[in-house]
Amino acid sequence: MASKKLMDLMNKAIARELQVSIQYMWQHVRATGVESLEVTDKLKKIAITEMKHAEEIAERLDYLGGEPTTEPAKITVGKNLEEMIDLDIKAEEEAIGLYKQIIKVALEEEDYTTKRLFEEILSHEEEHHNDFLTMKGK
């Protein structure tokens, strides 16, 4: 069905989604200061969305005959709210690049279901990126 390249990229995506779901949830818990009050609920909601992405990708990878990873990528929470949001912007930019690559490979392999799945997830990641930029005042 899917190539090893596509399955490896999908596992990289799962590891990234697990990473940010934990990262954002811990940031939600650990953020302090008056300005954090507006941010923490958003972080929690985004963390839950990211976990759902991990699940959707894992289900697709399993269907394609791959074995979904259970290992998150390196989690970096940050020491203060500004550092947390900077890390989150970077994480979303990395996801956007990775998901565009997966969409391209899926299209080359004529795997239209995987392509559609990642197009949908990509739109969410772009929304998250915009949310974090807005939090940063950009």
Q: What is the DSSP string of 91-128?
A: HHHHHHHHHHHHHHHHHHTT-HHHHHHHHHHHHHHHHH
Q: Taken in order 111, 117, 120, 124, is the CA torsion positive or negative? A: negative
Cβ 1 vs Cβ 109: under 8 Å:
no
Topology of the domain covering 4-136: Ferritin (1.20.1260)
Residues 27-59 have pLDDT tens digits of: 999 998 877 878 999 999 999 999 999 999 999
Residues 3-16 have pLDDT tens digits of: 999 999 999 999 99
Token pair in block for residue 22? 């934990």
pTM for this predicted structure: 0.95
How far is it, in rounded angstroms, from Cα 54 to Cα 15?
8
pLDDT band at 1 (very low <50, low <70, confident <90, very high): confident
Percent residues over pLDDT 90 in the chain: 91
Average pLDDT of the chain is 95
Predicted pLDDT of residue 131: 96
Predicted pLDDT of residue 137: 86
Average pLDDT over residues 77-83: 94
Predicted pLDDT of residue 63: 97
Predicted pLDDT of residue 138: 77
Q: Which of 24-38, 48-62, 73-87, 107-121 has the lowest mean pLDDT?
A: 24-38
Residue carrying structure tokens 């565009």: 100
